[in-house]
Structure 1
């Protein structure tokens, strides 16, 4: 029984990570069709809210605290940081780059969150002098180098160009040069948008940490509220690109399938599964599965959707994953040190109590006459 309990979070997170990689790859393909990325986001958040309503009502109606104006405002901010604005930049960046690059930059989430925690004084700067602090700082720097690779070095295409018709261009030299220049600009801009989206997601995680204290044990209700606010926010943000009602009418069956899949699997289920896994095993354990999403997105993008694969994406992904695990190594060392500090005083107190007990027993012992 214990073995099943230990393996359950591992299996669940593996399935969730593979699913998230496929969601990004499919979303990239849907955006290439030409759908407004914020209309895509609005539908995704709306589906997530509809899926979570019955769960939050049935399982959390008795434990849910009374909603105040302040709590509603905080969930509005949560939706803005973790869903609408994040999706605005992330999906826009995804449309200019690839699923592989998007997941590689998301792999920097732990390092970016750590950096922001230092800037906002949430993380103690004195901890940087310890072994754990040095490893976390080193991991963050390696992640940044990996992001630089992904952003500024696209590199040659290492997959077979003939298997990717969309990668082929006109034979005219001027057209090739012009298209290549435009593609490079879009790639840089896309990476910048993805980094902004990841920073917003990091800010959401820091904000959510405080919100869960005020709204505990209500992951379904909280995610549902966030999704409702985010759906309206995405709808408003979609106006920057198109104000026509026809843009909301989606007839492409593939795009409809991707929106449903992204809303159910990529938003509702993944949020709930991640929350459950964090509760069971901790955030450090859950964050180690980020590279699985990256590998899943790369394989799904390349093998199923036949998108071109570039050397810069592979090198940048490897460097980013290396930085992530160095950072997690430091995080594990930090947790081990905290546990050791917690246990040491307890053992000392226990020893003192035992010594006192022995002294009393010695004093109360009567010598035989």
Structure 2
């Protein structure tokens, strides 16, 4: 029982926390590389190409080690093509263009819309039950709204400083310069936010489609390799049209090389496989609910590695997001327990009904 609890509850929770930490690290490194002169489309092409090459030996080993591997049909390849288009080509290119126009902080804040988008799509495609008369559906709906609210509080409300630098003379010029920068680049900021919002909707759709694909074809390494491969090819085709200047591809600054290698290993290889595994085990809403947690992780990373100050708004938002997050988890666990109990009761009734026939 304890081993099953660790495998079904603790392991997905821990891995998703690691995934969100890796994702925020990738975004911050990518923004630093783009500030150093790396083109956003070139960045996406380079790190996905390297990641796909790293996935190739694992895919070949997996297929050869399987004595009864499932055949790869045209329908599955078509699904992988769409997954690559949504999850890599369009999503990542538009996301990094949006981040380049705005900032990782705005991307993290807008990313909190994902649980709402995913919950609506999951209900539409009947991957999540919604019956507002049941307490489990009420908990999931309320928890989603509360988690989004808490993350938006962290993003929009700063509040007084709890600890860290409070020197008004040093912070006021930075604040004024930031405000002037935002005003002078208002159109770019709005465009960046709009692109990031679009990628959140696309990411929610990708989660739904990936979950449905895994139910139809449950060989995760095959799905991951093919949709990464298709997505990379699509990115290369797009970049050949959009980025024809050789200066955009070479030479690369040192921070760009670090960002590409880190994103390929922790993003394309690790994050994609773990995310696919969690989608298969826990569903799209569970995965999307970690987006508000990602804002908390980003705030912690800023405090630990960048020496940022801790503000009251961050603490309040983190508490609200945590309450909403655990409310959704409670609703899902109660719903799963109810479904298992109903299945066991149905099994017991059917066996008792068959007993006289066997006698």
TM range (shorter): 0.7 to 0.9
User: Cα deviation per residue 1:308-335 (whole Å; 9 max; x = unaligned)?
Assistant: 8887777666544543333333322322
Tell me if the contact between 2:143 and 2:324 (Cα under 8 Å) persists in the aligned partners.
yes
Check if 1:141 corresponds to 2:158: no
User: Cα deviation per residue 1:132-169 (whole Å; 9 max; x = unaligned)?
Assistant: 22222223333454566577x36579674889x99955
CA distance in 1 between counterparts of 2:207 and 2:243 reads 31
State how 1:191-206 maps to structure 2 within 5 Å: 191-206=193-208
State how 1:246-265 maps to structure 2 within 5 Å: 246-265=247-266
Question: Which stretch shifts more, 256-265 or 223-232?
Answer: 223-232
Distance 1:246 1:342, change over 3 A: same
Tell me if the contact between 1:24 and 1:297 (Cα under 8 Å) persists in the aligned partners.
no
User: What is residue 80 of structure 1 aligned with on the other side?
Assistant: 85
Tell me if the contact between 2:26 and 2:262 (Cα under 8 Å) persists in the aligned partners.
yes
User: Cα deviation per residue 1:6-65 (whole Å; 9 max; x = unaligned)?
Assistant: 378265555444333322222232233232212111112111111110000011244544
Report the secondary structure of 2:132's partner residue.
Answer: helix
Report the secondary structure of 1:34's partner residue.
Answer: coil
Question: Which stretch shifts more, 206-215 or 281-290?
Answer: 281-290
User: What is residue 209 of structure 2 aligned with on the other side?
Assistant: 207
CA distance in 2 between counterparts of 1:313 and 1:239 reads 43
How high is the TM-score relative to the length of structure 2? 0.77
Could you list the runs of 5+ residues in structure 2 that have no partner in the other structure? none
CA distance in 1 between counterparts of 2:186 and 2:261 reads 32
Tell me if the contact between 1:18 and 1:292 (Cα under 8 Å) persists in the aligned partners.
no
Tell me if the contact between 2:148 and 2:292 (Cα under 8 Å) persists in the aligned partners.
no
CA distance in 2 between counterparts of 1:213 and 1:145 reads 32
Displacement of 1:267: 1.8
CA distance in 2 between counterparts of 1:270 and 1:344 reads 39
User: What is residue 216 of structure 1 aligned with on the other side?
Assistant: 218
Number of paired residues?
A: 349
User: What is residue 365 of structure 1 aligned with on the other side?
Assistant: none
CA distance in 1 between counterparts of 2:171 and 2:243 reads 26
Tell me if the contact between 1:139 and 1:325 (Cα under 8 Å) persists in the aligned partners.
yes
State how 1:7-86 maps to structure 2 within 5 Å: 9=11, 12-61=15-64, 62=66, 63-86=68-91
Could you list the runs of 5+ residues in structure 1 that have no partner in the other structure? 361-369
CA distance in 1 between counterparts of 2:353 and 2:331 reads 34
How high is the TM-score relative to the length of structure 1? 0.75
Displacement of 1:256: 0.7
Displacement of 1:105: 4.3
User: What is residue 6 of structure 1 aligned with on the other side?
Assistant: 6
Report the secondary structure of 1:225's partner residue.
Answer: helix
Check if 1:323 corresponds to 2:324: yes
User: What is residue 115 of structure 1 aligned with on the other side?
Assistant: 120
Displacement of 1:195: 2.5
Displacement of 1:66: 3.8
Question: Which stretch shifts more, 81-90 or 282-291?
Answer: 282-291
Check if 1:244 corresponds to 2:245: yes
User: What is residue 363 of structure 1 aligned with on the other side?
Assistant: none
CA distance in 2 between counterparts of 1:258 and 1:335 reads 40
Distance 1:286 1:207, change over 3 A: closer
CA distance in 2 between counterparts of 1:277 and 1:59 reads 19
Question: Which stretch shifts more, 22-31 or 343-352?
Answer: 343-352
Report the secondary structure of 1:249's partner residue.
Answer: coil
CA distance in 1 between counterparts of 2:148 and 2:175 reads 36
Question: Which stretch shifts more, 25-34 or 290-299?
Answer: 290-299
